[in-house]
Amino acid sequence: MDPNNVGEQEKWYNHKLTKSIRLPGSTAENGYGDDISVDTKWTGAIIDQSWFTEAKYEKYRQAGSIKIPFWLTPLKHYVGPAWYQRQVEIPQDWRDKQIVLFLERCHWETKVWVDGVAAGMQDSLCTPQRHDLSDLMTPGQHVLTVRVDNSIKYDVGVNAHSVSDHTQTNWNGLIGRIELQATDREWISDVQVYPDVRNKSAKLRITISSNLNQPVSGTLKIRAESWNTKQNHTPSKKSVEFTAAQSKSVVEVDYPIGDDVLLWDEFSPALYNLSVRLIVAADDNAFHDEKTVTFGMRDFGTKGTQFTVNGKLTFLRGTLECCIFPLTGYPPTDVESWLRILRTARAHGLNHLRFHSWCPPEAAFEAADRMGFYFHVECAAWARIGDGEPIDKFIYAESDRILKEYGNHPSFCMLAYGNEPGGPNHKNFLTDLVNYWKAEDPRRLYTSAAGWPIIPENQYHSTPAPRGHQWGAGFRSRFNANPPETTTDYRDIIQKYNVPVVSHEIGQWCVYPNFKEIKKYEGVLQARNFEIFRDSLEAHHILDQAEEFLMASGKLQAMLYKEEIESALRTPGFGGFQLLDLHDFPGQGTALVGILNPFWDSKGYIEPQQHHHYCCETVPLVRLKRRTWTTNQKFIVDAEIAHFGPAPIPNAIPVWSISYANGKELTSGRLPRITIPLGNGFQLGKISARLENVKAPAKLTLSLGLKGTPYVNDWDIWVYPADLDTKPPKRVLIVESFDEQVVTALKKGQKVLLMPPLNCIDSNIPAGFTTIFWNTQWTRQQPPHTLGILCDPKHPALRQFPTEFHSNWQWWDLVTKSKFMVLDDFGPDLRPIVQVIDDWNTNRKLGLLFEARVGKGKLLVCSMDLRSNLEQRPVARQMLLSLLNYMNRWAFAPKLRLDPEQIHSLLKTPSLLSNARVVMVDSEAPGHEASNVIDGNPNTIWHTAWEPTPAPYPHEIQIELPESAIKGFTYLPRQDMTNGWIDEYQVYVSTDGQSWGDPAATGKFEKNRDLKKVLFGEARKGRFFRFVALSGFDGQAFASAAEIDLVVDSD
């Protein structure tokens, strides 16, 4: 180990290195490196710095017991040069041979010495490194020294998965094959195969290298043979005479494959082995070499906005692979490991993998060739580019190496620079790069980068636009803002372009940690982040619910992914999607976004076959305008299908049914027999049913499939009575406030249903329907902060409200019109009837519904809105009826006793501004109106317009309110990110909204997300409040605020 980088200066290559290490492997695997500490210099951004400062993490910052929450904890950490050395013996029959040191995968730069003599440097992250030792390796013993330096040589980006501690770790070592390879001095250095599917032939580019220092003539004998297929095909052999220059020559050969050619795709991944034998005679010496490469007869192209394989339409159903291998901290180089991954992906209906900011080793391509998987590869970067820095040249050089090393693999279908580029010149740089690739190698499709930019030169676009949740959208995202349906598609986006569009990183829906996984981390990385989360859950007295949290949040996660995938499949002309992710991402704050764990193992809440029903080559689909119905409505939906199989399906018979939760069929039918072509958006007909005879309330399942095939899909719907009498029983008192009269009634034994107005519930936890997006540490607390609900469907309070133990679409109306109550201080025995699963970083006990005894009475507290607009809200009506009927029965027998003071602690007096209105704002963006600052919801924000051009400071809001003596105000910055945070401010108070006088206060806010409270020197009486933002931070032109409130005499 050479942490001070003195080895070259001190000529360690001339010294005998005494310690031992096992290769292939890494320093960490062998126990070398530094212990983890608070001062460890990580490779990767840490957005949330709270671990370094907050008291709750103090015990995890102690030497010897370090545990970090933002990614997996390595046993050892080392960045810098490390020196590897061994003695080798060159056999006599290698004399005058071409000798190369082959290092399959290095991390990162290698320098080589033979007997103390320098032999060269290589620095590829993605391809094997080859060092020519021919002039140094004579027969006999030699000392071979390799210096490996995993320092960041080029700025590929600290978060790039090629180097980052977020996933594979920034390891130091040599993995895969480590070989000395010998050939004759006239040898085949490269064979590239360019299939021509239309003409049933292939163009060969054979590079012949020579150290003979003279032109030579010879023969190439070419033969091919099929494999990985039940059919055998052997194209005709071919011999080619050639004359080669002194050092390197390229021989181009047109090689007929023949009329019996076997094509490669996901359904029939037929492969060919092509062998090229070299025979050269020079100076009475004969030189021989032979090289065998694998290729497939495959044409990956486009037709309008869709992808094609050999001329047939296909749809990319992909997920990311971010170099996540917790046992080793680096990728496997054996084929079987990759076959296991791809078989798992295929079992879940996928046909595509995107390698996010890295490129896998040879074994991955070999496995994908055999399986028929389509790979999107990237050049190891997530960086700022185009500024003329060394990274620019590195990307060109690395892409050249990738194309040469892996270009023959039919699975290598797509190439991009990397992920989400930065820099003002990135578009120009990527324009030139894409044009260069297209001219250099036509065997695949090229795009600028994953995510952006969209440039005319792209052969396909990668963009986050067509997905369910956008970065920073919070509760404005589709699944939180809009009632559930299955009609959304992205045709308006697709129609803007003339090449295929792949949706970038869709999903990112989190699930609660599975603490049973901790024991799986038996290698160089430990799940100590999970240990932190588990300790927190135990401190909140709900550790026994960990498995329930996992399963309930997992069911919601899977449900959201289903609708994400179906939305893409419903979109006519769509190219495909890339999930983030089918399996968990352990870094960037811990992103538990997979239905599988980092080992590609199931978490137990959804089976592969279930996922396959809505994510495979043929998926039946319906367009539901709603998920909830009433008995007086007629059920009519459009049925369609997305079919990207090997061929059209002739004489298909679509069949459907609607069944109760117990499996009993309500009704069924079939649609007209039809031939289903390749493509999507193909209409099957209409499904209709009358609902008046449904035993409502009921959860029903609509199923649609093709008779006699495995292709079937289903959707949950709910039917509720058209009319319900929700008048409370005489023995039940419904109240909105918890005043002395209510306390007295409880003391006398009354049954009370407390449903406070949402603005009277003392909670600032964002109430959203979905699970957490990515994770709150990395997104700077973007909402939601919760993971769905947990309940006991058999609890008598829910007896007349059909539900599972987890969130399903019928809960949307209730959850989005609720406040989450914080119940930590109510003792470990309180378990809400309807519980909300909190972020694993906080693990608060949250609830929407709980019961208790207060005095002699019985209390049910509900923080869902079951009062407003019930005639239009059948789900809320049904929940209210179920609760009232429960309270009217003997089953309403709470065991937990609470004091009135504890109930009071849940409530607050509404803000004075709850009766106010905004009368003036200088600028507001759609969806971020000024009225959001007085809505009592910290998750909605005011934001000044940023398009087409942000208006400069100052910005202001004027608010009219009941006349009051105002003593000060509070300002809550937006909680999800820092954009628009306000620095300098002035505020005014006026009686008429015209005459403002001197400012009531002037000052500067601290740059953090804390609530700011400003008191005036003396109270100002008035009916109008004027807030003026004078400047922002970091030169920003726009302003934002989550909440503004006033401090009045009564406060």
Q: Quick one: three-class SS letters along 822-885? A: ECHHHCCCCCCCEEEEECCCCCCCEEEEEEEEECCEEEEEECECCCCCHHHCHHHHHHHHHHHH
Last residue of a domain, one of 720, 742, 772: 720
Query: Quick check: helix, strand or coil at residue 809?
Result: helix
Torsion of CA 29, 35, 41, 46, to 10 degrees: 90
Domain-located, residue 696:
yes
* CATH code (residue 259): 2.60.40.10
The whole-number mean pLDDT for each consecutive block of 10 residues of the chain, a chain of 1051 residues, reads: 96 96 98 97 94 95 95 97 98 96 98 98 98 97 98 98 97 98 95 98 97 90 98 97 88 97 99 97 87 99 99 99 98 99 99 99 99 98 97 98 99 99 97 98 98 98 97 90 97 98 98 98 98 98 98 99 99 98 98 99 98 99 98 97 98 98 97 98 97 97 98 99 93 96 97 95 90 94 94 98 99 97 96 98 98 98 97 98 97 97 93 87 90 85 89 96 94 89 98 96 94 94 97 95 88 50
How distant is the alpha carbon of residue 577 from its chain centre? 12
Exposure pattern of 456-490 as b/e (b: 16+ CB <10 Å)? ebbbbbbbbbbbbbeeebbbbbbbbeeebebebbb
Asked whether residue 737 is domain-assigned, the answer is yes
Same domain, 27 and 170: yes
Burial category of 444 from C-beta neighbours within 10 Å (exposed 0-12, middle 13-18, buried 19 and up): buried
Sole residue written with tokens 């069911």: 555
Full residue range of the structural domain in which residue 886 is found: 732-898
Question: Last residue of a domain, which of 720, 748, 774?
Answer: 720
Query: Which CATH number belongs to the domain containing residue 151 in this structure?
Result: 2.60.120.260
CB 114 within 8 A of CB 86: no
Q: β-pairing, 712-720 with 628-630?
A: parallel
Q: What is the C-alpha to C-alpha distance for residues 606 and 595, in angstroms, rounded to an integer?
A: 7
What local confidence, expressed as pLDDT, does residue 707 receive?
98
For residue 464, is it within any domain?
no
Note the pLDDT of residue 340: 99
Q: Are residues 195 and 173 in the same domain?
A: no
Residue 640 is assigned to a structural domain of this protein: yes
Do 892 and 933 belong to one domain? no
Are 32 and 168 in a shared domain?
Answer: yes
Count other C-beta atoms under 10 Å from residue 973's C-beta.
Answer: 24
pLDDT at 766: 79
Q: Which of 990, 986, 966, 963 is nearest to 1051 (CA)?
A: 966
Whether 863 contacts 770, CB under 8 Å: no
What residue spans of 348-490 are helical by DSSP H? 362-371, 390-406, 426-440, 478-481
User: Exposure of 987 by Cβ count < 10 A (0-12 exposed, 13-18 middle, 19+ buried)?
Assistant: buried
In a domain, residue 125? The reply is yes
Give yes or no: residues 792 and 888 share one domain.
yes
N-term to C-term CA, the chain: 64
Q: If we measure between CA atoms, which residue out of 25, 23, 29, 34 comes closest to residue 1? A: 34
Which distant-in-sequence residues (6+ apart) come within 8 Å of 545 by Cβ?
A: 537, 790, 835
What's the CA gap between 443 and 408, in Å, rounded? 8
Question: Is-contact 946 1002, C-beta < 8 A?
Answer: no
Tokens standing for residue 1015: 């008191």
**Residue among 881, 866, 851, 874 nearest 727 (CA):** 881
Residues contacting residue 721 through CB under 8 Å, at least 6 positions apart:
630, 631, 696, 697, 874, 878
Is there a single domain that holds both residue 179 and residue 190? no
Question: Can you give the length of the chain in residues?
Answer: 1051
Q: What tokens appear for 48 in the block?
A: 């949330």
pLDDT of residue 85: 98
Question: Do 879 and 856 share a domain, yes or no?
Answer: yes
641 shares a domain with 790: no
From 167, 183, 199, the end of a domain falls on 183
Q: What whole-number distance in Å separates Cα of residue 987 and Cα of residue 750?
A: 49
Nearest to 568 by CA among 320, 813, 306: 306
Q: Is 307 helix (H, G, I), strand (E, B) or coil?
A: strand
Residues 127 and 88 in one domain: yes
804 with 859, same domain: the answer is yes
- Domain assignment present for residue 765? The answer is yes
Q: Cα separation of 485 and 624, whole Å?
A: 5
* C-alpha to C-alpha distance for 664 and 203, rounded to whole angstroms: 61
Q: How far apart are CA 110 and CA 659, in angstroms?
A: 64
579 three-state secondary structure:
strand
Q: Looking at the structure, tell me whether residues 173 and 276 fall in a common domain.
A: no
CA dist 187 and 182 (Å) reads: 10
| Rounded Cα gap, residues 149 and 4, in angstroms | 12
Identify the CA nearest to 107 among candidates 147, 159, 48, 76. 147
Half-sphere exposure of 772 (CA within 13 A, CB side): 31
Cα 763 to Cα 821: distance, rounded to the nearest angstrom: 6
Is 416 domain-assigned? no
In a domain, 849, yes or no: yes
Residues 1010 and 960 in one domain: yes
Q: Report the C-alpha gap between 742 and 112 in whole angstroms.
A: 83
Number of domain units in the chain: 5
